[in-house]
Amino acid sequence: MSASDPQTSSAQSNVALGVSGGIAAYKAIEVLRGLQRAGCNVRVAMTKRACEFVQPLTFRALSGSHVIVDDYAPDNPDPIAHITFSQTVDLLIVAPATANIIAKFANGVADDFLTSTYLACTAPVLIAPAMNTTMLLHPATQRNLERLRADGVHIVEPDAGEMACGTIGPGRLSEPDQIVAAALEILRGTQKKDLVGERFLITVGATREEIDPVRFISNRSSGRMGFALAEAALKRGGDVTVVAGITTVDPPAGAKIVRALSAAEMDQAVARESKQASVFIGAAAIADYRPSNRAEQKIKKTEESVTLTLERTPDVLANVAASRTNGMLVIGFAAETENLIANARKKLRSKKLDAIVANDVTRSDSGFDSRTNAITILTAQNDEPVELPTLSKNEAANRILDVIVSLRS
């Protein structure tokens, strides 16, 4: 694998997507598309009840393959499809998984194509339950879920919220990108520990530059991408320290967290922590400017206009790159609104980075606080851009780490 061709083990994986009969069946379309964007070949199986919510033609058009509902149907090209379908895939996903299908799986009932496929499947199985809150919490459903866990089935827990029936509580199908992220993690198999020995230092989130005691300059960064990188690095065997500004998502367990609210505080924290790091990733959205003079008291609304004089903040990324020792890799981010590649390439070269991850933050699927990211990666070895499809931030994180592994090799 070269730095210009980042891949994951999910590429070209064969995935079976089972769709059972619930109102959330339409979200399986997004699961299918997400898997395809990650490079998976996807075939679809549906229960008869699922066809009352979404027509098989929809999945056939998107997957390019025959959608199996009844293996005895005259249009089924494979007379033993439940065997060949289930034993030629790397993963079986069922989303949504209704209380009925969960009960059948847990008790070995095989009265249709999807349940027969489950019993014949030799690949890992991932289910995403979706049902009314009362049904989910019923002792029978909970007992069935526990039995499936004991059988080794992976479960993406349902979300809490308002459902189609008006009930508010747990039971809503998890977001499609979360289901895709869980699937891709399973497809990597036993997670490669290819980052053992690497000590990561990652900046995350937004900084705040105070104008007065109640006002500040900041941005909309949530920290989601940086924390995804931290979590992925931990799973692949790395030691991770995060210098975090303002974030709206929770950090992963296992990472050392150092809080720094302003650019100056982040610069100082990074200077301390970088002495032990072997890889630095600057994923934080650090303010470029701060007020030259912070008002000691709240500025009153007495004038028609107020002029703020701003000064440059420390360039954390450039400082790390300039002071690096012992073969540290330095990876930057370029969040741009125009001239994406030109600006990213300029930053890569001027700051002497090993790689840079560029994204267009004007896009709805790649901006601040989105659950997905459309990134382009350039490296110092080969600064020709490698544009990746829109991915979940967890999957994008692993693509970036793949490049780091390649740079090390």
Q: How many helices (H) and strands (E) does the chain have?
A: 13, 21
Active-site hit among 40, 51, 121, 165: 165
Look at the block and give the residue holding tokens 């104008």.
211
- DSSP code string of 191-224: ---TTTT-EEEEEESB--EESSSS-EE-----SH
Closest CA to 263 of 218, 308, 198: 218
pLDDT digit string (tens) for 117-161? 999 888 899 999 999 898 999 999 999 999 999 888 999 999 887
State how far the Cα of 394 lies from the Cα of 198, in Å rounded to an integer. Answer: 19
Closest CA to 4 of 382, 390, 399, 393: 382
- Answering whether pTM is above 0.75, one says no
**58 Cβ contact list (under 8 Å, min separation 6):** 29
Contact 18, 94 (CB under 8 A): yes
228 token code pair: 């995804």
159 token code pair: 């979300």
Q: What is the pLDDT of residue 6?
A: 35
45 token code pair: 């199986």
Q: What is the pLDDT of residue 263?
A: 97
Ranges in the chain, pLDDT < 50: 1-11, 190
- DSSP annotation of 27 reads G
Q: Could you tell me what percent of the chain has a pLDDT over 90?
A: 66
Q: What is the pLDDT of residue 12?
A: 59
State how far the Cα of 242 lies from the Cα of 229, in Å rounded to an integer. Answer: 10
Backbone angles phi, psi at 150, to 5 degrees: -65, -30
Taking the CA of residue 394 as centre, how many other CA atoms within 13 Å lie in the half-sphere pointing to its CB? Answer: 19
Taking the CA of residue 331 as centre, how many other CA atoms within 13 Å lie in the half-sphere pointing to its CB? Answer: 28
Contact 236, 289 (CB under 8 A): no
164: left (phi over 0), alpha (psi -120 to 50) or beta: alpha
**65 Cβ contact list (under 8 Å, min separation 6):** 42, 43, 44
Look at the block and give the residue holding tokens 């960064």.
221
- 40 noted as active-site residue: no
